[in-house]
Amino acid sequence: MDISKKVQEQMENSSWIRRMFEQGIELKKTHGEKNVFDLSLGNPIVNPPKKFFEILRDLSNSKDKNVHKYMPNAGFYEVREEIAKSISKESGLPFKASDIVMTVGAAGAINTLFRSILDPGDEVIIISPFFAEYIFYIEHQNGNYRICDSDENWMPNLKNLENIIGEKTKAILINSPNNPSGVIYSKEILEKMSSIIKNAEKKYSTSIYLISDEPYRKIIYSNNDYPFIYQYHERSVVATSHSKDLGLAGERIGYIAVNPSYNNKIKLIDAIIFSLRTLGFVNAPALMQRVVAKLQDEVVDVNIYRKKRDLLYENLIKIGYDCVKPDGAFYLFPKSPIPNDEEFVKILQKELVLVVPGIGFGTKGFFRASYCVEDWVIEGSLDGFNQVLKQINS
């Protein structure tokens, strides 16, 4: 075989994503762009804040030629200092520039972290429903994954977590606000997870990381405080990006923040910097580092997403779909009206509405509908959702 057997297998396991994407293109060609209601993608629709464009313009006029050269692999010191200041303010913890490593988006951050901590055979626990790419990130970086399921409110099933955590567990990866369910993990859940981790560490004499993937941290609709993981587990690390909160997904800018009170953080950060370099990222994009350093107090207009959430959620509930109301991110994860979610997605496609089957997030019997689309797409999809439910119930 010309390509890696492992990659071939991984591509086959994720082939429905490609299939859906291709079918979407075909449908749009046949029926016209405006007649297909595509809720399958998570591409941020809200533009970056106005200040982003001003800063970009100012920086492009800068006479400082040195800023285009190689830099310390962790990123510009003054950028990391700005990020540290900003998350210290939010979390109340004393972050320093040295606790931060700038990365190529959240995806680059997670891969870099896994490369730094995993040996072959180590296990990472992920919570279903999960962002499908996690499996490949873990496998690419030597690890094996185990899946912990969730309860009916999409909170981790702690009994299940207790059962699967073991001597090979190296990390637990959480994602809140969650893609695809949109839920935010509560303080109580984090407290309980932390005590399960501590018990396992004691039982097996191991060290377990709690990693939080937080690209949607600022896209939240509830007034509750966002619980940061640092206070719940000492060996904790956040991987995040400005793909969603500043609408910069294509610019590939993110960072890793290591708990300032983790006693072995210097060794971990050295490993992260080495991995970032040798995975070929070398450093995060220079221009974007300098831009986001000046945008730490900014966020896209979350109200736009809130209105879209309400429009889709309220209408789907009215039509008769069953769905946990999300508090963040920009997805709904309703129950499929028939047990086979892939079949449901195909039926819905006949009405020219595109969503993603729950199986793609490790959770059969549900589907993900993304509402980061123009309002006409949400409005146009409703008739299809209605027709299909009527058809199924008739």
Ligand X SMILES: Cc1ncc(COP(=O)(O)O)c(C=O)c1O
Residues forming contacts to ligand X in the complex (CB under 6 A) are 42, 105-107, 131, 175, 179, 213, 215, 241, 243, 249, 254
Check: CB of residue 230 under 8 Å from CB of residue 93.
yes
**What Å distances lie between residue 66 and 77, 210, 345, CA to CA?**
14, 37, 52
The residues, any chain, with a CB within 8 Å of residue 173's CB and separated by 6 or more, are: 110, 124, 125, 126, 127, 134, 211, 212, 213
Please state the closest distance from residue 108 (CB atom) to ligand X, in A.
6
Label residue 339 exposed, middle or buried (CB < 10 Å: 0-12, 13-18, 19+).
Answer: exposed
Q: Smaller CB distance to ligand X: residue 30 or 43?
A: 43
Q: How far apart are CA 230 and CA 258, in angstroms?
A: 9
Q: Please state the closest distance from residue 92 (CB atom) to ligand X, in A.
A: 25
Dist CA 260 CA 263 (whole Å): 8
Of residues 131 and 385, the one with the C-beta less far from ligand X: 131
The residue among 82 and 251 lying less far from ligand X, judged by its C-beta, is 251
Least distance to ligand X, CB of residue 100, Å: 16
- Report the residue number, 116 or 241, with the smaller CB distance to ligand X: 241
Distance in Å, CB of 25 to ligand X, minimum: 20
Assess contact for 165 and 194: CB atoms under 8 A: no
Q: Name 40's bridge partners.
A: none
Burial 194-213 (b: 16+ CB within 10 A, else e): bebbeebbeeeebebbbbbb
Q: Work out how close the CB of 136 gets to ligand X at its nearest, in angstroms, rounded to a whole number.
A: 12
CB of 279 to ligand X, least distance (A): 14
Q: Point out the residue whose Cβ comes nearest to ligand X.
A: 105
| 356-357 β-sheet, strand order | 331-332, 367-370, 356-357
Q: Are 177 and 217 in contact (CB under 8 A)?
A: yes
Nearer to ligand X, 148 or 347 (CB): 148
Angstrom CA distances, 381 to 24, 240, 347, 378, stand at 14, 31, 13, 5
- Which residue, 244 or 290, is less far from ligand X as judged by CB? 244
H-type helices in 92-186, by residue range?
105-117, 133-140, 158-164
Q: Which residues contact 48 (CB under 8 A, 6 or more apart)?
A: 246, 247, 248, 300
Nearer to ligand X, 200 or 237 (CB): 237
Residue 105 or 384 with smaller CB distance to ligand X: 105
Q: How far is the CB of 337 from ligand X (least distance, A)?
A: 25
**What's the min distance (Å) between Cβ of 195 and ligand X?**
25
Query: What phi, psi does 125 have (nearest 5°)?
Result: -90, 130
Q: CB of 66: closest distance to ligand X in angstroms?
A: 27
Nearer to ligand X, 215 or 380 (CB): 215
For the four alpha carbons of 322, 327, 328 and 330, in that order, the dihedral sign comes to positive
